[in-house]
Structure 1
Amino acid sequence: MSKGLVVSPEKCTGCRTCELACSYSKGDNFNPKDSAVSVMFYDEIGLQIPMMCMQCDEPHCMTVCVVNALTKDEKTGVVNYDKEKCIGCKMCVSACPFGNMTYSSRLKRVVKCDMCGGDPQCVKMCGYGAIEYKELDGALDKRKIIANQFKEAFGEGAK
């Protein structure tokens, strides 16, 4: 089994501390634009959902990278980003079907969740337990986990 980030939207207060913790750990600055996690607000139903890289089984970001700056660690399942190889074309940002990669104009590079090498700062700083780093159930694939989170967050009508 591998470990991953699991979000509980019902626990999120929208404080955005996860964004600040991430941006500081990635770029030494408290700036949500430099964060690999973004809190999505659904005001009409009073819900906030932290979104970050899903570490896809078949990452589109990695497939489109012409310089192999993105590689998947088969042991951890993390899609890692090598800023030294990156040419800044932003194809990976466009290829992500979830929109969970970004480009920082200030840092002049892609910002992507790498689970902080196994010590995710967003988890450490979330005072409400909305983001957890834990063993993923091998019987459930990541898509089912994500789908169930959205189903719980939006109710039975979300399919």
Structure 2
Amino acid sequence: MTKILSLAPEKCTGCRTCELACSFQHNQEFRPAASRISVLTWESAGVSVPMMCLQCDNAACVKVCPVGAISKSVTGAMVINENRCIKCKMCVIACPFGNTTYDGSSGKIVKCDLCQGDPACVKFCPSGAVTYKEAAAATVSKKKAFAAKFKDLVQEVSE
């Protein structure tokens, strides 16, 4: 069975250790801008939410890529073939959650690749807000419900 990253915003302390672990895993440097996970914080509400690619079943990023540079790996992650990618940023625009980004320093499109099945963000999260578990039906439903709720919250905040 496929494993997925599961987020528990109520456990997130906003420490951003996941961002540092991710950037170090992928770039051997502590640079949150290069991280494939980002922690969004609403200080007025006292809420921090770790966000990364949701590895959608019907991924918009895959649909809009004009050169077919994004595909699903054996771990279930949507990965970018850097040799095919033309950096058009259509995938960045298409992601409804903003979880595919462009790193100007490296000139690459970045998105969570699940660290080939051993996510660094999970290993180093001190509060257990990010976990990697089997995609049981209940877990998938919880993730989709949270994503819908988060989308509504983002729309409220941006208005």
Shared topology, TM-score over 0.5? yes
* Matched letter for residue 114 of structure 1: D
Aligned to 1:33: 33
The answer for the alignment partner of 2:61 in structure 1 is 61
Q: Which secondary structure does the structure 2 equivalent of 1:48 belong to?
A: strand
Letter of the 2:12 counterpart? C
In structure 1, runs of 5+ residues without a counterpart are none
Corresponding residue pairs, total? 152
CA distance in 2: counterparts of 1:101 and 1:149, whole angstroms: 15
Large movers: runs of 4+ above 2 Å: 138-142, 148-152
TM (norm. structure 2) is 0.87
1:146 deviation in Å?
Answer: 3.6
**Pair 85,54 (structure 1): closer, same or farther in 2 beyond 3 Å:** same
The alpha carbon displacement at 1:150 in A equals: 7.3
Distance 1:9 1:134 in 2: 16
Q: Which residue of 1 aligns with 2:5?
A: 5
Give 2:16's aligned amino acid.
Answer: R
Answering whether residue 158 of structure 2 is matched by residue 145 of structure 1, we say: no
Is contact 1:53-1:112 (8 Å) kept?
yes
Match of 1:131 in 2: 130
TM-score, normalisation: structure 1: 0.87
Identical counterparts, % of pairs = 50
Unaligned ranges ≥5, structure 2: none
Deviation at 1:149, TM superposition (A): 7.2
1:140–1:125 CA distance, 2 compared to 1 (3 A): closer
Over 3 Å counting, the alpha-carbon distance change for 1:56 and 1:68 in structure 2 is same
Which digits, 9 at most, give the CA deviation of each residue in 1:7-37, with x for residues without a partner?
1111111010100111111122211110110
Deviation at 1:141, TM superposition (A): 3.6
The letter of the residue matching 1:38 is S
Residue 72 of structure 2 is matched in structure 1 by: 72
| Cα distance in 1 between the residues matched to 2:58 and 2:27 | 27
- In the alignment, does 2:93 pair up with 1:84? no
Note if contact 1:57-1:77 (Cα within 8 Å) is conserved in structure 2.
no
Report if aligned partners of 2:22, 2:120 keep a CA contact under 8 Å in 1.
yes
For the 8 Å contact 1:9–1:149, the answer to whether it is kept is: no
1:98-143 C-alpha deviation (Å, 9 max, x unpaired): 101110011110111010000000001111111000111135545x
